[in-house]
Chain A
């Protein structure tokens, strides 16, 4: 376990971790922001105009 952590902190792993974190974090934040915007806007729009098929 310790060896794994040490190995993960050296060489190319920090770059791999950073790249994946940017993509997964970015997707998560964007998804969240979009859903929240949708919920807020939904309150201001009559229901017959937001029936998603």
Chain B
């Protein structure tokens, strides 16, 4: 019975009692170190900007947050596509975990963007194409998470969510291209294939931002995936313990 096998968790061979593992522990330590380096370079060692002064330091968290939110959206779309194709729960949960983390980073992008806009542009918000499309992305991600929360069988929820998840890619593309396609208050990308409009310690600080925030993103998606996985196990357990037992033998790895 489940109660027996799940029994005391203290024993070392009873599996981890959390979503942590050796890999995520090491990843977590490296992530914390990277965040320390980001603080050191982003807030202390890097110089102020000629025009913007210290407000430029917001870029070191704003731009990586935005980039990783796009990555999360792409992962959600890929997970959604594979789910629709193969009905693989693993990929569905990858999509779910990525979407939630992407929503978090999109929120960071919006908030840091507003806090950057006020001292530089003079306003927190304008409805230009970049800011408007970014707001739409946030709403689409919230919509995705809301669809997942609606009462329905797992497969129905997963399928609905996957369809919303696929819409994230065109939305990200619009956000990305908005500053090229339309007239916007938001500036065009500083880093592009044509080169970087930023040098020295400022460029390095932005680089440390990308590294640190990427590590945070990976750590978060892994843990969030495991939480989602455990949730499904708890659900499945209540459904039919006998079936759960039988299946577990075939799946445990």
Contacts and interface: CB of A to CB of B under 8 A. Distances in A.
A and B, direct touch (CB closer than 8 Å): yes
Interface of A: 11-13, 15-16, 18-20, 22-24, 26-27, 30-31, 34-35, 37-39, 41-53
Given A19-B111, A23-B112, A42-B230, A51 B58 contact: no
Contacts of A27: 104, 216, 220
A20 to B, nearest CB: 6
Contacts of A43: 6, 9, 17
Contact of B54 (A13, A18, A35, A50): A13
Nearest to B24: A52
Nearest to B6: A46
Contacts, number: 138
A49 B17 CA distance: 11
Nearest to B11: A47
B105 to A, nearest CB: 9
Among all A-B residue pairs, the 4 with the closest Cβ atoms: A38-B19, A47-B15, A41-B230, A52-B21
Contact of A50 (B35, B62, B116, B233): B233
Given A24-B35, A30-B220, A50-B15, A41 B231 contact: yes
Given A16-B43, A27-B216, A47-B15, A38 B230 contact: yes
Contacts of B226: 38, 50, 52
B112 A19 contact: yes
B54 A34 contact: no
In terms of DSSP, what is the predominant structure of the interface of chain B? Answer: helix
Contact of B18 (A13, A23, A39): A39
B157 interface: no
B129 interface: no
27 contacts: A12-B52, A12-B54, A13-B54, A16-B115, A19-B116, A22-B115, A23-B61, A26-B104, A27-B104, A31-B219, A34-B223, A35-B20, A37-B227, A38-B223, A42-B16, A43-B17, A44-B234, A46-B5, A46-B233, A46-B237, A49-B233, A49-B251, A50-B229, A51-B15, A52-B16, A52-B20, A53-B253
